Every structure is written in C-alpha cells, then in structure tokens.
Amino acid sequence: RKGDCETALDLLERAEKLAGGDSEVRMKCENTRGLCLIENGAWTEAERQFRLALQLAEKHNNERYIRLITHNLALPFGLRGDFGEALRWLKRIFREDKPEAQLPQESIGHLNIARLHLYRGEFAETETHLGKALELCQLYNLKHLRGEIFESYANFYREKRDFTHAAEFYERARKAYEEDGVDPSNREFDEERAALAQMRGDTVTARNLLENLLEIRQENKNEIGLHTVKLGLCRIKLEQNEIAGLAAELEKILRFFHEKNLYYYEAAAAVLQASALFAEGKRKEMMPPIQRALELAARFDYEYFLREETKRNPALFGNEEIIEKLPLDLRESINQTIKAERVTLKPKKPDSVQRSAFSVQTSESAPVVDLTLKLLGHVEIYRDPTKQFAPDAWTTRRARDIFCFIATSRHRRVDKDVLIDTFWADSEIEVVEKNFHPTISHVRKALNSRQTIKQNFILYRDGAYQLNSELTYSIDTEEFSRFIAEAEKAHHEKDSDRVWENVEAAHRLYRGDFMAGIYEDWAEELRGFYREQHSRILKSMTKFAFKEKNWVQALHYSAEILRDDPYREDIHALIMRVYAAQGKRSAVKDQYQKLQKILKTELGVEPAVATKRIFQELFK
C-alpha cells in the first residue's frame, strides 16, 4: 500500500518458503505478488499470478478470496485500457442477492468501477459507484481508501467542469493521503491536479506540478509514470505553441506506450502527435498516428475520449480520410464547426482577460455550504455531493417545486396563502387542508434523505414559510444575478477586466432554462427573466470579443446566441463584420444569404434595410 514493492516481494518470498505448496497462505502470496507486479507495470506477469491464485482459491473453496482475486484480475485489463473487459471482471465480485455476504473490499471494487465509467464518460454510473465506495469506506472505517475515493470524486467533478468541487476534493484527498502516510507522488494525484489547472487556463501551475513530478519519477525509476508525465507536459507545450521538436518527442512516448500495450495512453499520445504535426502543417505525416488512435478507439470503445478530442481540435479530424471513420454524430458536429469557421471549441480570451477568467467562480477557497440548489437548467438539489438524496426522496414533484419557489422568492420567504394560490389554485379547501402540511413534511424529509446530520431547512414564521437563515446556501440564480450586478457596477467604473470576469462567471452558471421541464406560470415568468439576462450577457461578451479583435471567440458567442434566437439580425450582421475583418468576402455573402433564407422561410420577410446596408458596405 505504501509503494514499497521491493520489501513486499522480499517478505512474500520468505512467506512462501514457510508455506505449503498448495496452501491458502500460498494463495494469498500469489495474489499479493500480482499486486506488486501491477505496481511495477508487469501486467502480463501479474495476470498470470492472479490466475494461479484464483485456481488455489477455487481449490480451497475460499469464496472471499475468489471474489478478491476476481477483482484483481480486472486490474491488468483496466490498466492496459481494455475498460469493457475490466468491467466484466469487476462486476463478478458483488453478491447483490446476498447482502449478508458483503465484503469491506467491495469498496475498492466500486471505486475501480467508478474510475472505468469515468474513462468512458458515463457520469451517472461513476457517481453511483463512488457513492457506494464511500459508503462502504465509512461503514468499515477503511481509512487507507479515503484518499483514493476523494481523488476520484475530484476527477469526476473536473470532467463535469465543476471546478470548485474538484478543487475541494483534491484538497480532501491530499489531507487523507497525508494522514495515512501515503506519498501522492507515487500515484496520479499531481497529474490529475495538473489536468484541472490546465482546464482552468492556469498552464503555469499545471506545468510546475508536472515538472516537479518528472524529477521525482526519474529518481524513483517509475518508467510508466515518467512517460505519462511527459505526455502531460507535451499537451501543455502544444497549447502554448511550443511545437519545435514536439512531434519527435511524442514519437518516443508513443513507442513506449505501444511496446507496453498501454492502449489508452497510446491513443492519447497518437492524437497529440497528430495535433503537433497538424500545427506544423504536415498533413501527410499526421495520418498514421491519427489512424492508429482511431483503430484503438474502435477496438476498445473509446467514444468519450474521441468525442473530447474532436471538441478540442475539430479541424484535425475534418480530413476526408479521417472523418469517414468517425461515428455519424461526430461527423455532423465537426462539419458544423468547420462551416462556422471555428477551428477550436476552446477559444482563447484576450490577453487582458486571460489572467482573471477563473477568479470569480472557481476559487479553490469557495466555501462549503449546507445546501446547494442549481435551478438554471434541470433542477439539482444536494447537501453533500458525495451523499446524494435517495432517488425517491422527492415523493412528489410538487414538494420539490414548492421548495424551489420558496428558495427563489424575495428574502427566501413566501406567505402560506401565496403557496396555496400558486400550487392549489383550482383545488377545494378540503383537498388543500388534506395535502398542504404533508407536502411541507415531504420537503423536510427529502432534504434529510441519506444524510447523517438532520437539518431543518424550512421554518414557519408569522404566517409564512422561509429558508432557515441560520444555515448556508448556494443558489445559482442568486449568484447569477450577483455576477450581473457586479458586471454592471464594473462597467460604470470602466473596469473592463472585471466586467468580463463577472459576465463570464454568470455565463458559466447558466446551464440552461430556469427549471427546465417545469411549465407552471411562476416558473415560466422567471424562465423568461433569466433567459433575457443570459441573452444580454452573450451579447456583451460577443461585442467585447469583437472589440478585442478576438474573431474566434466572437463567432463562438454569436453562434450560441443564434442557437436560441436564429432571427437576430444584429448578430448576423456582427458575424458578417467578423468575416469581413478576416478578409473572407465569400463567408460574408454566405452569412447574409443564410439570414435571407431563414427570414424568408420562417417569417416570410426580408432582412431589414439597415442589415442590407451593412452587407452592401462589407461586400463592396
């Protein structure tokens, strides 16, 4: 567990000399030797040891060890990148029909299943198994697993772009490793933190983490870890446009992963090498590595990996020979992106903004609150992201909606009569009397579902229901409005950096329409309000990007506006101005004709005189 495999193997050799040839002690030795070989990167030898151990476990009819070794047999497949086969082995360790046969070690089983689902982009399954892993870890007091579970939670939130919770769980993991005497440098901890920093735009921190880890891995002679760190550094170099010699460096990394049969890392290195060659304009040379990556993706079902890579660099995958080998939905996505003249879905911000882009929402010191409500988009309510409410916690949708109504009302307070008029307007008084108080009780129970500490979030005071002001809350609609107010204040103070910082933070919070899927009048009213606010944000971000001559970003935000309102002539006009500034006269004409067609087909009208005039001036 502490990474000292040399001592472990020495102890195993001594134990085997004392044990009988086919004894259960020998079975345990074979299993532990397999774990040591895993740590040393000897996948094939490890698999052989586990199979020998499994034979002995079956011979002795040792059910517990049969399940433990079955779990360990999944490890070589998972580490190679054969996630489907690894999942097949791992799922055999559970005995859901025999809850009395539950083992503490099932916690690590759920953890590894969660990791595999995360690689596959299956977030719901990831969250489910992480929750089970943590539950068993707490039940059996498995302190040595806490760090790994917290780290996996952090990776999960990072992939979901919830950077605040990701940073919080990396810190929890660090403390857990420290308390358990585990050196995080022997794990992927700093690599995962570097990935978070890079996603947040902080390439300086990401690079420092990886360069420090590189020195440690070189000293420890951890060849696989050394090459994964080098791969991460190459990714940063490419992002920073340090492409001289990069393809050659990646060739060595790629060859290493290929020789070790590390298929997932090989696919990642192949895409990165193709990207480096693409950046150099070497279209012919980029074909072999990208084709190898596609072969591996097809063989091992790396669909999520492929989807993320096409988002990162759609132009790379837009080659005719390559695009034909992609799934149909990815082809369509890439074609739309290329037509929109956006060569990346991760446009860089103006230099004046880049430094502060994440300082508002994603601070690592963001407070942990008693209750979180995410209402912009589909509703999410939770107290602790690691302990979600039971699936049937909200026995009725009305109970949940009443709570959301109270939380989003002025001063988080609503008169009882207003609640009755809003949610039981057409009901007889007998029906209201029968259902009102049980519904409020359902709200209170739902907010304590699966929670160790019970809290009273709803109080009744002076004829009204209100949120308990002694508890703390994170309500995205309030944060959204606060960011907009701060942006307006900064605008009056002529502080453009702070304007951008706050409008971008508000934009990130807006996951979709307010309480998507709820169509009551009160929700529709708020939905229209927040939708209009978001539209204003996008317009200001678009204008700012245009002013800074950041054409890629101006097109990105313009496309987002038109996705919700395709008839906005002012936005079509701005897109034409961007194309004109880039010297793309044909694109200006195409955009105008696209507007003409939409207006004629959908509304039966022509573009406004002002829009026609703009087009004529730009197309001279």
What integer pLDDT is reported at residue 345 of this predicted model?
36
Cα(480)–Cα(484) distance, integer angstroms:
6
Residue 447: its H or E element: none
Mean pLDDT on 47-65: 92
Q: What is the mean pLDDT of the chain?
A: 88
Cα 310-311-316 angle, rounded to 5 deg: 45
Tell me the residue length of the chain: 620
Mean pLDDT on 578-607: 91
- Choice among 33-42, 143-152, 480-489 with the minimum mean pLDDT: 33-42
What integer pLDDT is reported at residue 341 of this predicted model?
42
Whether pLDDT at 347 is above 80: no
Whether pLDDT at 362 is above 80: no
Cα(187)–Cα(169) distance, integer angstroms:
16
What integer pLDDT is reported at residue 450 of this predicted model?
87
What integer pLDDT is reported at residue 527 of this predicted model?
92
Question: Is the CB of residue 65 less than 8 Å from the CB of residue 72?
Answer: no
Architecture in CATH for domain 371-471: Orthogonal Bundle (1.10)
Whether pLDDT at 349 is above 60: no
Mean pLDDT on 491-508: 90
What integer pLDDT is reported at residue 340 of this predicted model?
52
Question: Which of 33-47, 385-399, 406-420 holds the top average pLDDT?
Answer: 406-420
Which has more pLDDT, 318 or 373? 373
Side chain identity at residue 247, one-letter code: A
- Burial class for 532, CB neighbours closer than 10 Å (0-12, 13-18, 19+): exposed
Mean pLDDT on 185-210: 91
3-state secondary structure 529-542: HHHHHHHHHHHHHH
CA-wise closest residue to 200 among 346, 307, 380, 376: 346
Whether pLDDT at 358 is above 70: no
Whether pLDDT at 196 is above 80: yes
At which residue do the structure tokens 């004829």 appear?
463
Percent of residues, the chain, with pLDDT higher than 70? 93
Whether pLDDT at 356 is above 70: no
CA torsion sign, 579 to 585 to 587 to 588? Answer: positive
Whether pLDDT at 83 is above 60: yes
Mean pLDDT on 67-91: 91
Mean pLDDT on 120-143: 93
Percent of residues, the chain, with pLDDT higher than 90? 60
pLDDT in tens, 530-547: 999 998 899 889 988 898
Give 101's pLDDT tier (boundaries 50, 70, 90). Answer: low
User: Phi, psi (5° rounding) for residue 392?
Assistant: -105, 20
What integer pLDDT is reported at residue 311 of this predicted model?
84
